[in-house]
Amino acid sequence: MPVPKAELHLHIEGTLEPELAFALAERNGVPLPCADTAALREAYRFSDLQSFLDLYYGLMAVLRTADDFTELADAYLARAAEQGVRHAEIFFDPQAHIARGVPMGVVVEGLGAALDRAEERHGVSTRLIMCFLRDEPAASAMATLEAAKPYLGRITGVGLDSAEVGHPPVTFREVYEEAARLGLRRVAHAGEEGPPEYVREALDVLGVERVDHGLRCLEDPSLVERLVRERVPLTLCPLSNVRLRAVDVLEAHPLRTMLDAGLVATVNSDDPAYFGGYAGDNFDAVRAALGLGPEELRTLARNSFLASFLEDDEGRRER
Ligand code: HPA
Ligand code: ZN
């Protein structure tokens, strides 16, 4: 039995497996740039974050209807549950869909239909986190937050993703202030490819409760000290880091160093259809590559529930 865990860093669009992409492409009459699923998998050789994002945004074109989003999320929840995920906090990228004519309501209602039956079907509790694209202007993020207002009952928090370098957190100060006023929880990607200063800004300016990735905090010992002291969780994604060349090989991943330093590290899959594995695969891979023992695996699993947005009473049940 895989260890029970929470997944806190998962882009639902990044769970689009080639088989489902081709099925939806046919159903919706959307052309794909590859002849078949094997050719598509061949294209999954990335040199950095941007080379991945180009393919990731392109492939989303097949997602058109609420049913498409329901099917996507239901397939993810089934796979995640098989690998021991009991709670999932799921990112989605509304701007990427709105830009191609798929309204917020279609996306949220479609995902929501799968999430509504996730406990019963898969034994997985869920939350939705709406991410802003940091390489789009802050005004677009603000408009997206406005468009989400009718759906806030379904949305727990906001996040920040897409191309990091050159797009510092401070750009989104007002958007995050408004999100806080609306009672939304706040997270942001920082320190994946961007410098440690972006991690500081995410904390100080955006008021985030967790940092997504946060890998490059290690370049700044005083930042590490602060993250440890304030017990700020980091949602690490080891297989993603290798595929996007943030680390050379899994054996060189700093996860163990981070645990030893006292950081509240968690292990997640990011975009499992693209990076070679779901949450359990990431656990298995770091266990093998870094020689993690049962105590370290238990710490990672415990951290995942502690770092989640489950209320205390729910969290106790999960743990
Ligand atoms: N980083 C930034 N943006 C993303 C990612 C990521 O790992 N995955 C999907 N959007
Ligand atoms: Zn991510």
Ligand nearest to the CA of 50: 1
* pLDDT at position 127: 98
Confidence of residue 313 (pLDDT cuts 50, 70, 90): low
Residue 105, SS3? helix
Q: Round to whole Å and give the CA distance between 133 and 274.
A: 19
- Give the position of tokens 């070679």: 276
Q: In what order do the strands lie in the sheet with 185-190?
A: 5-11, 85-92, 125-133, 157-161, 185-190, 210-213, 233-236, 264-267
Task: Look at residues 209, 133, 211 and name the one whose alpha carbon lies nearest to residue 175.
Answer: 133
pLDDT tens readout for residues 217-261: 999 999 999 999 999 999 999 999 999 999 999 999 999 999 999
Rounded to two decimals, the ipTM of the complex is 0.96
Confidence of residue 42 (pLDDT cuts 50, 70, 90): very high
Pocket test for ligand 1, best of 7, 9, 10, 11 (most atoms within 8 A of CB): 11
What dihedral angle (degrees, nearest 10) is formed by the CA atoms of 109, 112, 114, 119? -160
State the distance from the centre of ligand 1 to the C-alpha of 313, rounded, in angstroms: 31
Mean pLDDT across 252-280: 98
Mean pLDDT across 130-153: 98
Which tokens hold the place of 19?
Answer: 């088989």
Confidence of residue 46 (pLDDT cuts 50, 70, 90): very high
- Alpha carbons within 13 A on the beta-carbon side of 287: 17
State the distance from the centre of ligand 1 to the C-alpha of 143, rounded, in angstroms: 21
* pLDDT at position 319: 43
Using CA atoms, how far residue 205 sits from 28, 126, 132, 170, 226, in Å, is 42, 27, 16, 6, 15
Reply yes or no on whether the pLDDT at 168 is more than 50: yes
Could you tell me the residue ranges of all domains in the chain? Answer: 5-308
Reply yes or no on whether the pLDDT at 107 is more than 70: yes
Quick one: residue 39, left, alpha or beta (phi over 0 = left, psi -120 to 50 = alpha)? Answer: alpha
Confidence of residue 1 (pLDDT cuts 50, 70, 90): confident
Give the number of the atom of ligand 1 that is nearest the alpha carbon of residue 213.
7
- Alpha carbons within 13 A on the beta-carbon side of 304: 30
Reply yes or no on whether the pLDDT at 314 is more than 80: no
Mean pLDDT across 137-151: 98
Q: How many H helices and E strands in the chain?
A: 17, 8
Q: State the average pLDDT for the chain.
A: 97
Which tokens hold the place of 162?
Answer: 């897409």
Binding residues: 9, 11, 189, 270-271
Pocket test for ligand 1, best of 13, 51, 160, 161 (most atoms within 8 A of CB): 161
Confidence of residue 316 (pLDDT cuts 50, 70, 90): very low
State the distance from the centre of ligand 2 to the C-alpha of 130, rounded, in angstroms: 12
Binding residues for Zn(2+): 9, 11, 189, 270
Which tokens hold the place of 62?
Answer: 């097949």
pLDDT tens readout for residues 289-307: 999 999 999 999 999 999 9
Task: Look at residues 209, 254, 199, 201 and name the one whose alpha carbon lies nearest to residue 230.
Answer: 209
Q: Of 7, 13, 136, 192, which one is the catalytic site residue?
A: 192
* pLDDT at position 315: 52
Residue 297 and residue 283 in contact, taking contact as beta carbons nearer than 8 Å: yes
Which contacts of 118-121 are long-range, i.e. CB under 8 A and separated by 24 or more positions? 118/73, 118/77, 118/88, 121/74, 121/77, 121/78
Catalytic, 219? Answer: no
CATH topology for the 5-308 domain: TIM Barrel (3.20.20)
